[in-house]
């Protein structure tokens, strides 16, 4: 796949701040993909996006574009002229970017239909709901037909119907061949629309993987529920060098092959611990996020 954005050793440290907002971020964004950036509040998502857009200067590293693509940006809380109608506002923005005549009308109509606001074209912006305002923010970002669209928490604060509306718009843009990067703390949103996900934790990129790849690995995971607290097996499992997590009465194993499976069963038999159930965990992105961040924290504590 063609690389459209290359990010190398990107870092940002704000004046009078004791630590790094972002540290040593390196990744590539491919043309036509949907890349989701996930992280808790304060992880560095907005700083990362502002660096991509050139709104702030990096302390270290650089961002390179393969050419000079048009970029549309949707901030987390778009600001509008609330006394304008939807069409008046988009016409103004289009004129400022050089659109005019039939081309301007066609682009405004296309944007409104794509974000499902055509029926509110004559409405005052001040009368729109929060979800409609978010969709209008996307409409203004795509008005100039940009190749890359960057969104900062586009579904934040929306109800489930509003979140689904944003997901549907992202999927429609993807079908048009747009390159989309958006940040979110809604894991289900990332899971449903992204081809790749990056996890930011305390300013560091702790995971950068394809969703399909993660799902294939997930199928190799096994969760064993036992009739004892799993923590009592922590030392023994560590000696077996098994990649696993202990949660209450559950042990979640990553890549449990036949030899390791029999070793675990033998250990449980020796301890007279009964197996209550075996399963493949279903929801995967939440666990992937927690595993990635927990591994970083454990590494820091050593």
Task: For residue range 1-28, list pLDDT tens digits in order.
Answer: 799 999 999 999 998 888 899 999 999 9
Tell whether 62 and 149 lie within a shared domain: yes
pLDDT in tens, 203-232: 999 888 887 777 766 666 788 999 999 999
User: What does residue 225 show for φ and ψ, rounded to 5 degrees?
Assistant: -100, 130
119-170 tens-digit pLDDT: 999 999 999 999 999 999 999 999 999 999 999 999 888 888 888 999 999 9
* Percent of the chain clearing pLDDT 90 (strictly above): 62
Residues 44-49, mean pLDDT to the nearest whole number = 93
- Greater pLDDT, 217 or 173: 173
Task: Report the DSSP beta bridge partners of residue 201.
Answer: 204
* Tokens at 3, concatenated: 């690389």
CATH number for position 106? 3.40.50.300
- Out of 96-105, 171-180, 230-239, 256-265, least confident range: 256-265
**Domain edge (last residue) among 183, 209, 235:** 209
CA–CA distance, 5 with 64 (Å, rounded to integer): 6
Which pLDDT belongs to residue 295? 57
* Whether residue 180 sits in one domain with residue 273: no
Same domain for 247 and 145: no
Last residue of a domain, one of 159, 174, 209: 209
Parent domain of 55: 3-209
Q: Are residues 224 and 175 in the same domain?
A: no
Give, for 262, the enclosing helix (H) or strand (E): helix 258-270
Nearest to 88 by CA among 56, 72, 112, 53: 112
Question: What 3-state DSSP class applies to 58?
Answer: coil
CA distance linking residue 155 with residue 193, whole number of Å: 13
Q: Are the beta carbons of 49 and 60 closer than 8 angstroms?
A: no
Please indicate, yes or no, whether residues 197 and 229 belong to a single structural domain of this protein: no
pLDDT at position 287, please?
A: 63
Mean pLDDT, residues 272-284 taken together: 78
Domain shared by 230 and 107, yes or no: no
**pLDDT of res. 103:** 96
Domain count, the chain: 2
Predicted pLDDT of residue 156: 85
- Domain identity same for 63 and 161: yes
85 and 114 assigned to the same domain: yes
pLDDT of residue 298: 53
Domain end: 193, 209, 225, which one?
209
Rounded Cα distance, 167 and 3, in Å: 24
Are residue 186 and residue 232 in the same domain, yes or no? Answer: no
Q: Does the structure show a pLDDT above 90 at 90?
A: yes
Do both 162 and 263 map to the same domain?
no
The label of the residue with tokens 């560590």 reads: 238
272, 124: one domain: no
The verdict on 144 and 175 lying in the same domain is yes
> What's the CA angle centered on 222, arms 216 and 225, to 5 degrees?
155
Residue 254, pLDDT score:
76
Q: With 50 as the cut, is the pLDDT of residue 283 above it?
A: no
Point out the least confidently predicted range of 101-105, 167-171, 188-192, 283-287. 283-287
């Amino acid at each position: 796949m063609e690389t459209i954005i290359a990010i190398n050793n990107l870092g940002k440290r704000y004046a009078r701040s004791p630590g790094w907002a972002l540290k040593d971020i390196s990744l590539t964004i491919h043309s036509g993909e949907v890349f989701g950036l996930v992280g808790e509040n304060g992880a560095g998502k907005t700083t990362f996006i502002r660096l991509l857009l050139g709104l702030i200067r990096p302390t270290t590293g650089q961002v390179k574009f393969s050419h000079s693509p048009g970029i549309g940006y949707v901030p987390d809380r778009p600001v509008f002229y609330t006394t304008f109608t939807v069409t008046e506002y988009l016409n103004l923005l289009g004129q400022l970017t050089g659109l005019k005549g039939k081309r301007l009308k066609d682009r405004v109509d296309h944007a409104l239909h794509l974000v499902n606001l055509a029926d509110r074209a004559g409405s005052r912006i001040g009368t729109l709901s929060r979800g409609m305002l978010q969709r209008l923010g996307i409409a203004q970002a795509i008005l100039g037909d940009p190749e890359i669209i960057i969104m900062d928490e586009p579904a934040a604060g929306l109800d489930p119907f509003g979140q689904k509306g944003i997901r549907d718009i992202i999927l429609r843009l993807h079908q048009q061949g747009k390159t989309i990067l958006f940040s979110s703390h809604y894991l289900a949103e990332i899971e449903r629309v992204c081809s790749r996900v990056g996890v930011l934790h305390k300013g560091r990129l702790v995971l950068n993987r394809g969703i399909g790849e993660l799902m294939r690995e997930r199928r190799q995971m096994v969760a064993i529920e036992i009739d004892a607290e799993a923590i009592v097996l922590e030392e023994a499992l560590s000696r077996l060098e098994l990649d696993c997590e202990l949660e209450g009465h559950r042990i979640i194993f990553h890549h449990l092959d036949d030899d390791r499976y029999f070793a675990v069963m033998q250990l449980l038999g020796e301890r007279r611990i009964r197996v209550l159930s075996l399963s493949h965990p279903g929801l995967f992105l939440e666990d992937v996020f927690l595993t990635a961040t927990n591994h970083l924290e454990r590494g820091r504590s050593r």
